[in-house]
Amino acid sequence: MTTRKMILDVDTGVDDAMAITYALADPNVELIGILSSFGNIEADRAAANALKLLQLYQCPQVPVFIGRANPLDHQYQRIAVNAQIHGENGIGDVNLPAATAQIAKQNGVDFLIDAAQKYGEQLCVVTTGPMTNLAAAFAKDPVAIRKIGNITVMGGALTVPGNVTPVAEANVEQDPVAANQLFTSDLKITMVGLDVTLRTLLTKQETSQWRTCNPTAGAKLADIVDFYIDVYDEIYPELGGCSLHDPLAVGVAIDPSFVTTIPLNLLVTTEHDAYYARTIGDKARLNEPTNLNVAVGVDRERYLNVFMKLFLDFLEKLN
């Protein structure tokens, strides 16, 4: 497999931390930058969390940029720390040492545009928070963003209920205007939503292996994720573990065969009613060429095996 250059666009909560770990652990990826956005936590603190994780993993060379701090939908700004799910600090209330590296001065949206122009088809962009940065970059320079070879987004819910409202998934709900602009554009996008991420689960049986493998970085990562698992045990006891939302999107961006997809033109409801932020098929474009591949099935056992091997190999090398 050819090594691909990847940008992660994160709102660094617990599963974003696993997404960053996955991108660093996979030898087929060169992580060239991390953008932060609002979502699980404010954009500046999301960037700080990313820097701390990079330091924990001895990867200070990866630059971190702050992107948009607010949604495109200025009429309905709902930016609050998702402390119930991710902790007050976004990473399970686990304290990581302050990073010595600094946040890059360039705006994250401009970095994304520059990278698209420079790398084109070689570039893979994975969003694991609101799609605001990508939508803003597309609005500013659509020619450059159309050059990106792979755009994979964690967001949406087509065949299952939402996790914020009965119809809305959290990342889309944070900025449905941005999501709708992208989903109704001509950009080729793979949507990795709750349809597949809710089936891909992690338990403390797996995180305990990280502690054994690496008593420093592995133990810190396990502490972060165990917080998340405890939350899931309370809120979603029927699942039997925590969902691997964001790291699954990274995995699919690298190896699309982890999921089965259907081609479908989607839209996102942006009216402020009971269907706000719903992802649904676009009736007006049913017979038009599709720009979106929606993941609806997942090879969860193979994915988890790859996930764990990558993480354990990576943590072992850090010893």
Give 104-148 as a DSSP string: -SS-HHHHHHHHHHHHGGGEEEEE-S-SHHHHHHHHH-HHHHTT-
Please, where are the H alpha helices in the chain?
14-25, 43-56, 83-86, 108-119, 132-140, 142-145, 170-174, 176-183, 194-197, 204-213, 217-235, 245-254, 300-318
Looking at residue 200, its pLDDT comes to 96
Greatest extent of the chain over all pairs of C-alpha atoms, in Å: 55
Please report which confidence band the pLDDT of residue 77 belongs to, taking 50, 70 and 90 as the band edges.
Answer: low
Looking at residue 1, its pLDDT comes to 58
Cα(197)–Cα(228) distance, rounded to whole angstroms? 15
Please report which confidence band the pLDDT of residue 297 belongs to, taking 50, 70 and 90 as the band edges.
Answer: very high
Handedness of CA 85, 89, 91, 93 (dihedral sign): negative
Alpha carbon 212 to chain centroid, angstroms: 27
Please report which confidence band the pLDDT of residue 83 belongs to, taking 50, 70 and 90 as the band edges.
Answer: confident
Please pick, among 16, 26, 223, 245, the residue that the annotation labels catalytic.
Answer: 245
Please report which confidence band the pLDDT of residue 84 belongs to, taking 50, 70 and 90 as the band edges.
Answer: confident
pLDDT for 81 beyond 90: no
Using a 10 angstrom Cβ sphere, with 0-12 exposed, 13-18 middle and 19 or more buried, the burial of residue 104 is middle
Contact 251, 257 (CB under 8 A): no
pLDDT for 282 beyond 70: yes
Each residue of 239-254: pLDDT tens digit?
899 999 999 999 999 9
pLDDT for 76 beyond 90: no
Please pick, among 11, 16, 26, 195, the residue that the annotation labels catalytic.
Answer: 11
Can you name the residues that pair with 295 across neighbouring β-strands?
A: 261
Each residue of 137-170: pLDDT tens digit?
999 999 999 999 999 999 999 999 999 999 999 9
pLDDT above 70 covers what percent of the chain?
97
Please report which confidence band the pLDDT of residue 184 belongs to, taking 50, 70 and 90 as the band edges.
Answer: very high
Average pLDDT, the chain: 95
Residue located via tokens 């996008």:
189
Residue 313 a catalytic site member: no
Residue 11 a catalytic site member: yes
Each residue of 92-130: pLDDT tens digit?
999 999 999 999 999 999 999 999 999 999 999 999 999
Each residue of 22-63: pLDDT tens digit?
999 999 999 999 999 999 999 999 999 999 999 999 999 999
Please, where are the H alpha helices in 26-102?
43-56, 83-86
| Single pTM value for the model | 0.97
pLDDT for 207 beyond 70: yes
- Within 10 A of 32 (CB to CB), how many other CB atoms are there? 20
Please report which confidence band the pLDDT of residue 3 belongs to, taking 50, 70 and 90 as the band edges.
Answer: confident
- Reduced to 3 states (helix: H, G, I; strand: E, B; else coil), residue 252 is helix
